[in-house]
Amino acid sequence: MYDLFITNASIIDPESRKITVANVGVKGGRIAAITRDAAESVQALDCTGLYLSPGFIDIHAHIESNPSAGILMCQQGVTTVINGNCGMSPDNLPAFLERESVRGFAVNQYELVGATSLRAQSGQHDRNAPMSVSQTDTAAGLLEEALSAGAAGLSFGLEYEPGSSAAEILALARIAARHGKPVAVHIRSDYYAGLSAINEAIDICRRTGAGVQISHVVYQFGYGMMQQALDIIDSAVQEGLDISCDSGMYTSFATFIGTPVFDESCFEKWQVSYDSLVAANGKYAGQRLTRESYLDLRTNYPEDAVIAMIGVPHEIPLAFTLPYMMVSSDAGVNQGQDTSRGHPQDSGTFPRFFRKIFRETGQLSLVDAVRRATILPADRMGLSKKGRIGIGMDADLTIFNPILITDRGQFPHEGRPDALPDGIESVVINGHLVIHQKNVLKPDAGHTVRMRGKPYSY
Ligand SMILES: [Zn+2]
């Protein structure tokens, strides 16, 4: 007797790269059978005409324990998120992991240790200054502790912390390498300067042995320099370095107005004016900025999020010409505020990926698109029981209609960023049916992933 028996689904297996019609039996949170026979179950789900894949894994998000953002994730078919990106993670991560592991969340969450947070906890609050030797030692101790408590790896947000020195970066990355865990890098610059900044990320891999994930590539380079960026990344990969990368499905990124990203020089660099910035939340939510509102936010509300409406749309499909480019959302800039504000990436990234890169253009096959959203990020993060279909694998499953799959979220000056996508039929997390036809049946089936072993060791 299975807990859940899913019948007649077209099962997409990104490992064998095959699609086949069969039934899936789920028991105790795991896949217990893949069969063409009938079986008894507590709950049955007929999926005739629908496709079933491993649940989508979002390798780049910022939605730590934010319930409304977690629900938007499951509604787009995501079952596991990697948080703590761009250098930002909760303070005292071991305590956070302990607390979260007893409290359920909408999706599974796996947490990177953010270097910016380590800097602050070690007493370095000046983003323009390097850490001293003793501060670096303190940060190293905190990182060691968090990785031993099961954190996913390390992240840098070098664009936000220009004072980060090579000495501190390499010291921290060496610890991640020793634990066999990856280092996610939001590189030091975007636009043309970003092209040389990629080499700093590649050097982290070359000099420490840590696997390096280059974050949200379109947000760094989707302005006409994408092909050059891909060539630099790919030549490092061809050299044999353990480098991988991810990208979202939008060119217009969101971040906090007080960060160096929005220093006044950005307008000249991007060749745009104040009205290319749209407030994602806060006092001016949904409005294009003026010089006055820009200065008001910079001075008085540095934590408010702003979307830079910039970039070249055709750079997005170009990014996915790289066979190991994963899809990621960068969701969560809204920090738990009203979901009617924020960025459409929070609700739309994965449906938009399938719509634009598979359904409308056929750029990727369905199997390859699923691979970018499942087994590829699972392997990067050492999640050996996720991102695949097989007996004993975690029962994180997404059932969708590839003909209908469509994102509906809009930018906040145009509509609702949290409009639910179409075509996501059902989502199963740890064996529980959590979403069915857009209804939330169980909002807390997600676990906190804590991996104490070494995913990679040498
Ligand atoms: Zn980032």
Domain map of the chain by residue range? 86-214+216-251+311-327, 255-309
Gap from CA of 456 to ligand 1 centroid (Å): 25
The tokens describing 258, both together, are: 């007080």
Gap from CA of 262 to ligand 1 centroid (Å): 14
Superfamily of domain 86-214+216-251+311-327: Metal-dependent hydrolases (3.20.20.140)
pLDDT of residue 453: 75
CA-to-CA distance for 438 and 436, rounded, in angstroms? Answer: 5
Gap from CA of 354 to ligand 1 centroid (Å): 23
Gap from CA of 214 to ligand 1 centroid (Å): 10
Gap from CA of 37 to ligand 1 centroid (Å): 47
| Inter-CA distances, 240 with 186, 199, 247, Å | 21, 15, 21
pLDDT of residue 454: 75
Gap from CA of 396 to ligand 1 centroid (Å): 26
Beta-ladder partners of 25: 5, 33
What is the full DSSP assignment across 380-445? HHT-TTSSS-STTSB--EEEE-TTT-B-----TTTS-TTPPPBSEEEEEETTEEEEETTEES-TT-
In this structure, the strands spanning 254-256 and 30-35 are: unpaired
Residue segments in the chain with a per-residue pLDDT below the cut of 70? 335-337, 457-458
Gap from CA of 201 to ligand 1 centroid (Å): 13
Gap from CA of 185 to ligand 1 centroid (Å): 8
Gap from CA of 110 to ligand 1 centroid (Å): 17
Gap from CA of 202 to ligand 1 centroid (Å): 17
pTM confidence score: 0.97
Gap from CA of 178 to ligand 1 centroid (Å): 24
Gap from CA of 253 to ligand 1 centroid (Å): 9
Gap from CA of 43 to ligand 1 centroid (Å): 41
Gap from CA of 149 to ligand 1 centroid (Å): 24
Gap from CA of 216 to ligand 1 centroid (Å): 7
pLDDT of residue 336: 66
pLDDT of residue 349: 98
Gap from CA of 197 to ligand 1 centroid (Å): 14
Asked if residues 366 and 359 have their Cβ atoms less than 8 Å apart, the reply is no
CA-to-CA distance for 283 and 371, rounded, in angstroms? Answer: 40
Gap from CA of 327 to ligand 1 centroid (Å): 14
Average pLDDT, the chain: 96
